[in-house]
Structure 1
Amino acid sequence: MQSDLVFMSVSVTENTSGLDTMNGHEVPLTDSSGLEPSCLLVLIISGKVVLNIFIFGARARNVSANLVGYCCISLAIVDFMLLFAIAAIHYFQDFTVLGFRFTSYHICLFTQIISHTYGILHLPFFLASGLDYYLTVVKSIHSPCGYSGLVYAACVLLLWTGAFAYVLLSPIGSPELDTGQSTYHCNLYISSQSFYLSTFLVCTVFLALAFFCSEIVTILKSLKVTTYAKNTVVLFSFPQGDIWPVQGRKRFVAALLFSFLGTWAPFVVLQIILLVLCAHIPGYMDLNVPWLYFMNSFLIGVSFGLTYPDLQMTEKTFSRDPFIGWKYCILPFMNSGQIKAMSLLDELPSVMIV
């Protein structure tokens, strides 16, 4: 009888009016490949954990503290905890810890809880990170030295606590079990927050491309790629008669957009494909570290664009993004005094303006 309850269609928040307001829905995880769903979940989440490790290893090391960074670390920790829990349950099948009995049913239960929690965190993470950059970049408000990390950690903890509390404390309807259902059937939450947020980001990028099309074309025409000391260097030339530093908000935003797409173009294309196909991605996979860093770069670019020409150009300002070298993008818009003060020329840039 116990094996019949492994993956029945039981959702912690099924028929929950509170989560219905989130406009999400559930889709079943079925045994389509001949493997047990528990094994599939272990493999899928293992791949996500490996991807997290790869992203953390590929990012730049000298990055100033920001809210998105703490969100990424916390997400990676929760992913690992979920993997450890379901892998242990899948291996031991039926065991007791501190008086609590765990069976294969809990693999589905834990994954459902995480899926719902992840599904309602997209917008809170986006809004909180946007507020962080608005205060620290646009308004140049900085917390006392040494306290910013505590503030970010407390904020992330509050977001996670609120999300888990919302999911676990929501009223639970009595699930209707159909004896004719497949044993390997587990409803997993699909968040609409990620769909709408992804649509917003992609549409914003395309609108910016259309509006700054002429500036982007000018940048592309002047692009030259060469090598220096076995490093690849991208060179751009000023239009005839232009002076240093370069002026103009349209040129500045076009340079930001070019740098953003130069790094995240494959991810943008992936988002477009998912939107066109209306792909159903469970919440436990939809919220991931690459998505948060993509959102981070978008928010940084927007905050820089809003601040021009009063942007405070310091090393800390440009060290918020572990994947895009924003200071080399903004280099032609800085005067010689600002460049020397930041010691930008002490290292070989990935992008240079000549």
Structure 2
Amino acid sequence: MIISIPSILLSLGVKCLLNWALVLIQRNHICQSFLGVFSISLSVIDTALTLFAATVHLLNDGYILLIGVKFTRFHVCLLVQILGQVYSNLQWPVVVLAGLDHYKSLTRRLESTVTRAKQLVYLFVSGCLWYLSAVFVFLLSDFNPILENVPYNQIQQCWVFHTSQILQVVVLLLLSLGYTTLHARYNKQLPKDQNTDQRTTVYQITHIFLNTWVLFLFFLAVLFLLPVGIPAYLGLNVVWLSFLNSILIALLLCAVCPASQLVQGLAAVPPDSFCEWRIKFILAAENRT
């Protein structure tokens, strides 16, 4: 797809504002999980890209000199395409690592503070992901940039790739959540009382998640029905990462945590600024007693 540079700058600016707004909303616990630390790194990179692209485009000469290198609007289009590919390649690794991090938290059974060393590990893993994804794009993928054959000062639009990884991730995670819900409903291996508690708990988890994110899911469905698709440079953002955080928590709570542990507060539920998992479980426990 071809998008004008002003439109790219506008969308990047809105993306940065949303990124930092959500980072500030979650500032009290954002460094307590891998997804939180990765969200901060994404916000920094998006901001750097936006400032660079805006500076180059708004200058009358159409270029800037930085550390002895002449950067033009060609580099703006090139950088948008490269980062779009990097963002697309990061989707599945981020999902897998975030899932493993949440799984470790939920199976620890007890609350524990996140130490500075663990935060440094999160930062190191995030840096490795960015580095490995960039290496893959430059050295191992078949990525070929598409640039206009015109003078750099006449470039007013860029070719932008779209992303399909978001649809793949959403479909897989929603199917997994649906499967765990159905499995809890028809599971005959547990005693009747335990099976009833587990089924009720799974329904509560699913209801909490859908009640919070149904509008976002509807928005994603509308976007995917549009013929233009989602530009790759917009595919990875903190709103999307917050959604991933909630759906991964919901999926793991349904799949690995027995109802008895949830109602007794024995599972260390990862922080979530959008779904009130702990409050709902405490209320359910009170109702049963």
TM-score, length basis structure 2: 0.81
Would you say the 8 A contact 1:202–1:271 is kept in 2? no
Deviates more, 1:77-86 or 1:55-64: 55-64
| Separation (CA, whole Å) in 2 of partners of 1:130 and 1:123 | 10
| Separation (CA, whole Å) in 1 of partners of 2:29 and 2:224 | 34
Map residues 11-22 of structure 1 onto 2, 5 A cutoff.
none
2:208 pairs with 1:259: yes
1:89 to 56, 65, 85: 56
Would you say the 8 A contact 2:34–2:98 is kept in 1? yes
Who is 2:2 aligned against? 29
Would you say the 8 A contact 1:122–1:194 is kept in 2? yes
Shift of 1:279: 4.8
1:163 to 98, 110, 133: 133
2:25 pairs with 1:67: no
Would you say the 8 A contact 2:176–2:251 is kept in 1? no
Tell me the amino acid that sits aligned with residue 79 of structure 1. D
2:236 pairs with 1:287: yes
Shift of 1:123: 0.4
* Aligned partner of residue 65 in structure 2, secondary structure: strand
| Separation (CA, whole Å) in 1 of partners of 2:147 and 2:37 | 40
| Separation (CA, whole Å) in 1 of partners of 2:95 and 2:81 | 23
Quick one: percent identity of the two aligned structures?
23
Cα 1:112/1:41, change in 2 over 3 Å: same
Would you say the 8 A contact 1:60–1:323 is kept in 2? no
| Separation (CA, whole Å) in 1 of partners of 2:288 and 2:16 | 39
2:276 to 325, 328, 336: 325
| Separation (CA, whole Å) in 1 of partners of 2:114 and 2:147 | 56
Tell me the amino acid that sits aligned with residue 45 of structure 2. V
| Cα deviation code 1:98-146 (max 9, x no counterpart) | 2100111111011011101001111000001011112221355979843
Map residues 1-354 of structure 1 onto 2, 5 A cutoff.
28-30=1-3, 37-59=4-26, 61-62=28-29, 65-92=32-59, 93-138=62-107, 140=109, 145-170=115-140, 184=156, 186-205=158-177, 248-277=197-226, 279-305=228-254, 306-309=256-259, 311=261, 317-318=268-269, 320-334=271-285
Tell me the amino acid that sits aligned with residue 158 of structure 2. C
Would you say the 8 A contact 2:107–2:268 is kept in 1? no
Would you say the 8 A contact 1:249–1:308 is kept in 2? yes
Cα 1:128/1:278, change in 2 over 3 Å: farther
| Separation (CA, whole Å) in 2 of partners of 1:59 and 1:177 | 39
| Cα deviation code 1:180-232 (max 9, x no counterpart) | 9x96553322232222112223444556677789xxxxxxxxxxxxxxxxxxx
Cα 1:90/1:137, change in 2 over 3 Å: same
Cα 1:144/1:268, change in 2 over 3 Å: closer
Cα 1:301/1:202, change in 2 over 3 Å: closer
Who is 2:190 aligned against? none
Tell me the amino acid that sits aligned with residue 203 of structure 2. A
Number of matched residues? 275
Unaligned runs of 5+ in 2: 186-192
RMSD, matched Cα: 3.6
| Separation (CA, whole Å) in 1 of partners of 2:195 and 2:80 | 52
TM-score, length basis structure 1: 0.67
* Aligned partner of residue 311 in structure 1, secondary structure: helix
* Aligned partner of residue 121 in structure 1, secondary structure: helix
Shift of 1:288: 1.0
| Separation (CA, whole Å) in 2 of partners of 1:96 and 1:60 | 36
Would you say the 8 A contact 1:119–1:189 is kept in 2? no
| Cα deviation code 1:237-256 (max 9, x no counterpart) | xxxxxx9x996111001111
